Structure formats: C-alpha cells, structure tokens
Amino acid sequence: MTIDKNTKSFAKGDVILKQGDEGANAFIIESGAVEILIEKENNLVQHIGTRGAGTIIGEMALVDNNPRTATIKAIEDSVLLEITKDDFERRLANSDPVVQMVTKVILARYRDMIARAQIFGQSSNTIPTPEDMEKGLVSKTNAVENIKLSNELKQALDDNALELYYQPIVNLKTSEIAGFEALIRWNHPSKGFISPETFIPIAEDSGLILEISRWVVLESCRVLQKVKETFPSSKFFLSVNFSATDFSDPSFKSYINYVINSTGIKPSELHLEITERLLMTNPSSARDTLDECRKEGMLVSIDDFGTGYSSLSYLHYFPIDILKIDRSFINNMVDDEGAMELVRSIISLGHNMKMKIIAEGIETEEQAQMLKGIGCDQAQGFMYAKPMPPEDLTIFIQEKS
C-alpha cells in the first residue's frame, strides 16, 4: 500500500508550479520554503514573496479553473502535501454554509488582489513568524497530520483495509443475545491500531464519513444476513453508528434501501445509532431522514444518552425507539447514589415514552443485576463480550445458546 502518496519532495531550485499552467491542486508546505514569482509581459520576473512550513500554495486552483497566476520555486529542499480539488470540494461541501460562502468570497477577492499585484507590482507577505504560529494563524501540525491521516484513511477504505467488529447486546431478562453493534477498526500499516474515536472525527471533517458509513452499513448487513442463515430461528438486530452528515445526505435513504434489498435483511433488523450531540448539528434534516427510515420499519437509537448538552425537549421532536445510556453513568452507578437515581430516571422517562433502554459499558455482574432490578431492557459491555471479528460470531452465539 502506498502511504503518503500525496506527499511530494522538491530540491532547492525546482519549479513546483508554473505560471499559466492548468492546476487542480494546492500544496501545504510541510517543510522547507518556496518563493513566489510573477513573470511580466516585458520578460521581467518579479519576486512576490516567500512561503514557509505550514502555509499553503496554489490554493486558487481549488476554487476556479483559471491558470496559475504565479510560478513557485523551492528555495530550500521542501516537502509538500498535496490537496486535490476533489478533496477540497468534499471538505467544503461538508462545512457550514456560511463557512462555504466566506471561503469562496475570500478566495475570489484574493485572486483579484493578486491580479492587482501583477499590474501594480505590490509585494505580498512572507514566511509566518513564530508569533503568527502561536496566534493560530497557521496551525500547521494539526492541519497536516489530519490531512495525512485522512488521505491514508481514504486509501485504507479503497484497499478494503478497514474492518468491522461486532459487540453483542444482551436481553437482561432472558440473558439471550438480542443483537450486535458494528464497530469499525483501522489497523494502520505503520501506526498500528487507531481508535475510531480518533479517526471518525477526521472522517467527519473531511466528508469521508459518507463513504465510510456506506461501507459499514453494507458490510455489516451482509454479515448479519450470514449469521441469520447459520441460525435461521434467530431474531438478532444490527446497530450501526451514523454521523450527522449521513442524515443530511439526500441519497442516504435510497442507499440504505439498496443495502436492505441487496443483503436481504429486514428493515426492522437495522437500528440506526446517532449521538445526541450529532443529532443537534442539523436537526431538521436529521428528523426528515429518520422519519422516512422509520416509516420503512428501521429503528432509531440515541447513543451516549445523557452526555449531550441539549434539553430533553428534543426527545419529542425526533422519532426515537431506543435510548442507550452512556457508560459513564453505568460506571458510577454502584458507588454513587446520584448516578443510580439518574439511570433509574432515564429508564422510567424512556419507558413512559415507549422507548427501549440499553445500558452501555457493563463490566460487572453487580452492574448487570442493578440494571435488571430497575427495569433496564438490554445491556452491552465487556462483561458479556468485547467487540469481536465476524469469524468469532458463530462460536459465540453457539456457546451462548
């Protein structure tokens, strides 16, 4: 697998971009320095400025298809990270509409300014100072690291190098397996295991999450269908995690329908999980999408319930079938009467609203017994099983029954 295929090295003196050429990419300077030169009609070459690590060059090609306005030359050995037009557009489309508008306007004005500089010979700014760095004008490390990780994640997705593990969810009354939650895994070729808590936010920021979620739901539904073929009398459900962006995607529902039809699972066997926090990022489109999916028979589950900042009134606004109580409450429940009362209240609130309650992060028998005692419906946690690869599911199900 090629890692860092978007990183390019240039020796001192190399021309990186040529004025007048077509361009569909920009570069972030990871190390080294470059100079910006404008060739004038009378064959004079004007030095416009220099750029150092953490700055971007060639960015105007990302917004329009006009030729490069300047030539850029390495003045030191330099390493550049490529941002393609596709990548930029995906990131922009995924951002807040105001951010989109401001970005486009600023880039258009910036192009005008450069045009004026070409005419009047004004000079542009130079390498950022350490103070600029501190003020956050250039947050080099984060941007570069995130973009690299996002490129590698895209590669992993294309190479089919992501994996799904499945964690059982157990019925507290009968102790039977009720269903499974699909949890994504990325074993990075050089960095080793990377937690989804690290790479899912990066995928959300870059817009890659749409492709990832599609892969997750298709692959996990295939696995569920296989499990059902092995255990024909089973009634397991499958819970899949989604992001706010998924529910704002106009083709989300048709894709889910395609997955259901092509794998043969029943809509009621698919639970869509979303956290409270993400639900609030675009409430009206989330509600529309969830409404439509629910009409088809899918179930909606609120993940990490109790950790969001919102008021409870949203419970009426969204169509919700299941609340998953966050594991932080379960953790504290045994020693902390307050946490215990909170869990009890969530269960009765949910039941009054005709919702089922799943407790997350059960690690001890004591927690399981307490939850059973206060009427919690289902539980998930290391006490029952850690998330496992699909090939271990059959044995686990056989041992359990």
Torsion region of 254: left, alpha or beta (phi above 0 gives left; psi -120 to 50 gives alpha): alpha
Taking CB atoms, the residue at the shortest distance from Ca ion is 303
Structure tokens that stand for 202 in this block = 């990066």
Whole-number minimum distance, CB 119 to ligand C2E, in Å?
Answer: 50
What's the token pair of residue 95?
């951002």
Measured from the CB atom, the residue of 184 and 370 that comes closer to ligand C2E is 184
Residue partners of 102: CB distance under 8 A and separation at least 6: none
- Give yes or no for a contact between 376 and 210, defined as CB atoms under 8 angstroms apart: no
Based on the shown chain and the rule CB under 6 A, indicate whether residue 221 belongs to the binding site for ligand C2E: no
Applying CB under 6 A, among 280, 363, 374, 396 the residue interacting with ligand C2E is 363
State in angstroms the smallest separation of the CB of 304 from Ca ion.
Answer: 4
Q: Is 317 one of the binding residues for ligand C2E (CB under 6 A)?
A: no
Distance CA(142)–CA(233), nearest Å, equals: 50
- Count of other CB atoms within 10 angstroms of residue 346: 21
Task: Fill in the per-residue mask, 128 to 167: x = in contact with ligand C2E (CB under 6 A), - = not in contact.
Answer: ---------------------------------------x
Phi, psi of 28 (to 5 degrees): -95, 130
Mark 174-203 with x for binding to ligand C2E (rule: CB under 6 A) and - for no binding.
--------xxx----------xxx--x---
Strand, helix or coil at 110? helix
For residue 320, give the DSSP letter.
-
CA angle 333, 339, 345 (to 5 degrees): 110
Could you tell me the two tokens for 59? 């960015």
Q: Given candidates 304, 318, 333, 346, which one binds ligand C2E under the rule CB under 6 A?
A: 304
SS3 category, 25: strand
List residues bridging with 388 in a β-sheet: 166
Residue 35 binding partner per list Ca ion, ligand C2E, none, with a CB distance cut-off of 5 to 8 Å that depends on partner kind: none
Grouping H, G, I as helix, E, B as strand and the rest as coil, residue 121 is: coil
d(CA 180, CA 271): 10
What's the min distance (Å) between Cβ of 209 and ligand C2E?
6
**Nearest residue (CB) to ligand C2E, 29 versus 322:** 322
- Select from 241, 245, 263, 367 the one that contacts ligand C2E (CB under 6 A): 241
Out of 4, 382, 392, 400, which residue is the one contacting ligand C2E (CB under 6 A)?
A: 382
The entry of ligand C2E, Ca ion, none near residue 183 (CB within 5 to 8 angstroms by kind) is ligand C2E
Is the Cβ of residue 63 or residue 290 nearer to Ca ion in the bound state? Answer: 290
**Which of ligand C2E, Ca ion, none sits in contact with 361, Cβ below 5 to 8 A by type?**
ligand C2E
Nearest Cα to 26, choosing from 8, 48, 42, 40?
8
Q: Determine contact, residues 317/288, Cβ cutoff 8 Å.
A: no
If the CB atoms of residues 167 and 289 are measured against ligand C2E, the closer one turns out to be: 167
What is the three-state SS of 151-186? HHHHHHHHCCCEEEEEEEEEECCCCCEEEEEEEEEE
Nearest approach, Cβ of residue 383 and ligand C2E (Å): 6
Of the candidate spans 110-118, 286-294, 350-358, 376-384, the one that interacts with ligand C2E by CB under 6 A turns out to be 376-384
Residue 71 or 243 with smaller CB distance to ligand C2E: 243
Q: Which does 363 bind (CB under 5 to 8 A by kind): ligand C2E, Ca ion, none?
A: ligand C2E
Look at residues 340, 375, 387, 342 and name the one whose alpha carbon lies nearest to residue 169: 387
* Beta carbon of residue 86, minimum distance to ligand C2E (angstroms, whole number): 22
**Binding segment for ligand C2E among 102-110, 241-249, 284-292, 341-349 (CB under 6 A)?**
241-249
Q: How far is the CB of 95 from Ca ion (least distance, A)?
A: 25
What 3-state DSSP class applies to 112? helix
Residue count of the chain, please give it: 401
Residues in contact with Ca ion by the rule CB under 5 A: 241, 273, 303-304, 360
Which span (93-101, 186-194, 235-243, 344-352) binds ligand C2E, by CB under 6 A?
A: 235-243
Q: For 388, which DSSP code?
A: B
Q: Which residues bind ligand C2E (CB under 6 A)?
A: 167, 182-184, 195-197, 200, 216, 241-243, 303-304, 327, 361-363, 380-382, 387
